[in-house]
């Protein structure tokens, strides 16, 4: 029988039945109870999909983050299906695109989505909506040969998502590789702050396989997250720089004495966020590189530079450039199996076994990797290249600036010139003048990197995972 990671997690969960798997807003759920819910729902899915003839069931999961989301995802995979998480905040056209590209047979959701036929109630108080006969645009035989478990559509900060296929064996490799760096054990209690629709293939699977407790806060306000962390003695924070910043600026001045590991991922870590977090909680906030195609290949466990990604252990890397700066390329365990649209196997995508991340990186003198920007976001000013992230880092240190997005504006003579959109800390205050901001930037940046225009905006466009949208 082919390996099934959900079956393995259910078996492990049953063996630690009295231990707590989840605690917080969904109550306390033991591993034994969790395993029973997965098995019960899995059996119902098998019955609902018994007439599917074109391969294993491909099932969308449209469910808020929480115990129910984890149950549905594991149940689909346990039933031999391929789970496709769909973010609740995704607009209707994006949902339809995911449905069409994945050729979903149906969707599981706690609400009636309006897709397909009349809903039929299933276990876990969710609905099954069937889409009937579907015609995949990819070769089903090749897809099935991978033993697919999971398809994730990225948030697409700069381009359309391709649909990343991960097999059961790839998930097993990926979880083992990531935990070489995270070192999660059954003694850990992980504060959960990220959307499960976007962070499941390493994090949730890893925590459940390790036997850790997942702490679900009552909400996403800083006070709610910190209260849950303190009351449940959370030992691990794994979240975005935005959430780390919220926790660090929470106004109760409470400490977090049980915290042993704080990891920032999903977006570049601003140095000021790292400093404020460490000052508040006495624990260094370390940056990790998470990529849906590669898992969690890099985690800074040694360097004092908050924007360093450290050095890989079981991954190889090289920087594709004639000097110390260029595109970061990776190879290692748990790499993705294929893209759905257009269909391309991993071997067809990776050049000589190397995956091009699209991230621009620099190798420091001590051998650590440091990201400097995204390849697609580079601003070329008359032949000199600058990165929006570098300029944004500087502007965020200004007392009046809450957040910022920098982009290139076409220019007839110079090719492109940097422009900054700024969100103010106090919207009612008089914004700093362009000359003041220019002077501030010139103290830290080369002249060609200084924005030629500063535009005050109420908010910045972001993707469903909270990353600043670059287009």
Verify that 137 and 260 share a domain, yes or no. no
Residues 262 and 280 placed together within one structural domain of the fold: yes
Supply the CATH number for residue 302's domain: 3.40.50.12780
pLDDT on residue 88 = 84
Please, what are the averages of pLDDT over each run of 10 residues along the chain (471 residues)? 96 97 96 97 94 90 95 97 90 84 93 64 81 85 96 62 92 97 97 92 95 96 96 96 91 96 87 93 94 94 88 90 79 96 93 88 86 76 77 92 91 82 91 94 88 93 68 62
Query: Could you tell me the CATH number of the domain that includes residue 451?
Result: 3.30.300.30
For helices 271-281 and 241-249, what crossing angle results, to 10°? 40
Is residue 343 included in any domain, yes or no?
no
Q: What percent of the chain has pLDDT over 90?
A: 62
Classify residue 345: in a domain, yes or no. Answer: no
Last residue of a domain, one of 138, 168, 198: 168
Judged by phi (left if over 0) then psi (alpha if -120 to 50, else beta), residue 216 lies in: beta
Cα–chain-centroid distance for residue 21? Answer: 21
Asked if residue 464 is part of any domain, the answer here is: no
Residue 63 and residue 125 share a domain: yes
Q: How far apart are the C-alpha atoms of 263 and 301, rounded to whole Å?
A: 10
Burial zone of 13 (CB within 10 Å; 0-12 exposed, 13-18 middle, 19+ buried): buried
Q: Which of 109, 137, 168 is the last residue of a domain?
A: 168
* Judgement on whether residues 150 and 296 belong to the same structural domain of the protein: no
Residue 48 lies in a domain: yes
On the 0-12 / 13-18 / 19+ scale of CB atoms within 10 A, 100 is: middle
**Would residue 396 count as lying in a domain?**
yes
Could you give the number of structural domains in the chain?
A: 3
Structural domain contains residue 391:
yes
Question: What is the per-residue DSSP string for 372-405?
Answer: EEEGGG-EEETTEEE-HHHHHHHHTTSTTEEEEE
pLDDT recorded at residue 258 = 98
Tokens 């276990």 locate to 123
Instruction: Say if residue 64 is in the same domain as residue 126.
Output: yes
471 within domain boundaries: no
Instruction: Verify that 52 and 142 share a domain, yes or no.
Output: yes
Convert 277-292 to b/e letters by CB count within 10 Å (16 or more is b): beebbeeebbbbbbbb
**Shared-domain flag, residues 307 and 207:** yes
| pLDDT tens-digit series, residues 94-122 | 788 899 999 999 999 987 666 655 566 67
What is the pLDDT at residue 118? 59
User: Quick one: how far is CA 236 from the chain centroid?
Assistant: 17
Residues 160 and 188 in one domain: no
Q: N- to C-terminal Cα distance for the chain? A: 45
On whether residue 344 sits in a domain, the answer given is no
179 and 84 in a common domain: no
Q: Are 357 and 330 in contact (CB under 8 A)?
A: yes
pLDDT of residue 416: 83
CATH number of the domain that 52 lies in?
3.40.50.980
Note whether 158 and 210 are same-domain residues: no
The angle at the Cα of 97, spanning 41 to 408, to the nearest 5 degrees, equals 125
Kindly state the tokens that stand for 75. Answer: 């149940």
Residue range(s) defining the domain that contains residue 370: 170-331+353-375
The residue from 115, 144, 168 where one domain ends is 168
* Separation CA 62–CA 470 (nearest Å): 26
CA atoms within 13 A on the CB side of 128: 21
CA distance 47 to 72: 15
In degrees and rounded to multiples of 5, residue 38 shows phi and psi of -65, -45
Non-local (6+) Cβ contacts of 416 within 8 A are: 379, 380, 381, 408, 409, 410
* Same domain, yes or no: 219 and 365: yes
pLDDT for 198:
87
Same domain, residue pair 118 and 37: yes
pLDDT score of 131? 86
Cis peptide bond prior to 177, omega within 30° of 0: no
């Amino acid at each position: 029988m082919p390996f099934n990671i959900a079956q393995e997690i259910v078996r492990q969960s049953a063996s630690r039945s009295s231990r707590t798997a989840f605690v917080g807003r969904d109550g306390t759920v033991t591993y034994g109870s969790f395993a029973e819910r997965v098995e019960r729902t899995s059996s119902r899915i098998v019955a609902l999909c018994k007439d599917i003839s074109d391969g294993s069931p491909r099932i969308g999961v449209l469910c808020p983050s929480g115990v129910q989301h984890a149950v549905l995802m594991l149940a689909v995979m346990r039933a031999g299906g391929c789970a496709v998480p769909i973010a609740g905040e995704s607009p209707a056209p994006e949902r339809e695109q995911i449905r069409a590209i994945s050729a979903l047979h149906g969707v599981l959701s706690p609400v009636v989505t309006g897709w397909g036929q009349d809903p039929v109630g299933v276990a876990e108080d969710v609905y099954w909506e069937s889409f009937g006969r579907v015609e995949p645009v990819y070769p089903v035989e090749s897809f099935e040969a991978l033993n697919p478990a999971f398809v994730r559509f990225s948030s697409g900060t700069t381009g359309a998502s391709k649909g990343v296929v991960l097999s059961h064996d790839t998930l097993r490799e990926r979880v083992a590789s990531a935990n070489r760096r995270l070192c999660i054990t059954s003694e850990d209690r992980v504060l959960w702050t990220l959307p499960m629709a976007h962070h499941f293939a390493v994090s949730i699977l890893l925590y459940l396989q390790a036997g850790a407790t997942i702490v679900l806060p009552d909400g996403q306000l800083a006070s709610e997250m910190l209260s849950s962390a303190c009351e449940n003695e959370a030992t691990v924070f794994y979240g975005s720089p935005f959430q780390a910043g919220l926790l660090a600026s929470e106004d109760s001045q409470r400490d977090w004495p049980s915290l042993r590991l704080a990891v920032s991922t999903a977006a570049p870590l601003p140095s000021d966020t790292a400093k404020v977090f460490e000052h508040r909680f006495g624990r260094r906030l370390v940056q990790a590189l998470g990529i849906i195609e590669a898992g969690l290949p890099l985690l800074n466990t040694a360097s004092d530079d908050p924007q360093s990604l450290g050095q890989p252990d079981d991954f190889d890397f090289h920087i594709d450039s004639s000097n110390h700066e260029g595109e970061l390329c990776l190879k290692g365990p748990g790499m993705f199996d294929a893209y759905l649209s257009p269909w391309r196997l991993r071997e067809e995508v990776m050049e000589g076994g190397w995956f091009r991340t699209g991230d621009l990186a620099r190798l420091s003198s001590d051998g650590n990797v440091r990201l400097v920007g995204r390849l697609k976001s580079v601003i070329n000013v008359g032949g000199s290249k600058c990165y929006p992230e570098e300029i944004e880092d500087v502007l965020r240190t200004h007392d009046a600036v809450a957040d910022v997005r920098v982009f290139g504006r076409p220019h007839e003579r110079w090719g492109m010139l940097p422009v900054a959109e700024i969100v103010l800390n106090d919207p009612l205050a008089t914004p700093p003048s362009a000359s003041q901001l220019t002077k501030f930037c010139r103290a830290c940046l080369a002249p060609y990197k200084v924005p030629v225009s500063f535009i005050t905006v109420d908010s910045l466009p972001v993707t469903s995972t909270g990353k600043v949208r670059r287009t």
